Amino acid sequence: MLATERLVFRPYTAEDLDFLMSMTGDPEVMRYIGQGNVWTREQTAERLRMWMNRYEEEQGLGLMVVARKSDGELIGHAGLVPQLVDERKETEVGYWISRRHWGQGYASEAALALRNFGLSHLGKKRLISLIQFDNHSSVKVARKIGMNFEREIVFNGKSIALYSLTRQG
């Protein structure tokens, strides 16, 4: 199980639907996710099922619940997410933090752990983050973990920024 000084990661279960709804139903959390719309309970449940099914298909990659070690409170989710960008398989460092936990460094801590895990444990040579241009907080996180703006792409019908990190050697 992946863990940091303050955080622990675990796979989603069906019992996490209400927690996930607390994020997908929050307009501020969803502002830079997809088309920027909140999701219904049915949409959230469908996405949760998809993420849970992906664990086996993708050898454990995917979004995982992130909890605080100190008290077990669920604070968001993060993971190494398989993506298809311009017909190329990529691995994205993805993260959402529940709004009440913003500004505490959790996204950076989670992203750094995922970067290190992807590069060292999984042997990935390249990691990306797909970030909407106005999402300055996520740009800061990407830069903190060593990513740089690579190029503008169209992803799911929307113009976004692709940040990347390539391991040397």
pTM of the model: 0.94
Beta-carbon contacts of residue 70 (< 8 Å; ≥ 6 apart): 6
Q: Which residues pair with 81 in a beta bridge?
A: 92
Residue 153 has pLDDT above 90, yes or no: yes
74-128: pLDDT as tens digits = 999 999 999 999 999 999 999 999 999 999 999 999 999 999 999 999 999 999 9
Report the distance separating Cα 107 and Cα 114, nearest Å: 10
Residue span of the structural domain in which 73 resides: 7-166
What confidence score (pLDDT) does residue 113 get? Answer: 97
Residue 169 has pLDDT above 70, yes or no: no
What confidence score (pLDDT) does residue 59 get? Answer: 76
140-152: pLDDT as tens digits = 999 999 999 999 9
Residue 75 in any domain: the answer is yes
Residue 2 in any domain: the answer is no
The domain spanning residue 140 has which CATH number? 3.40.630.30
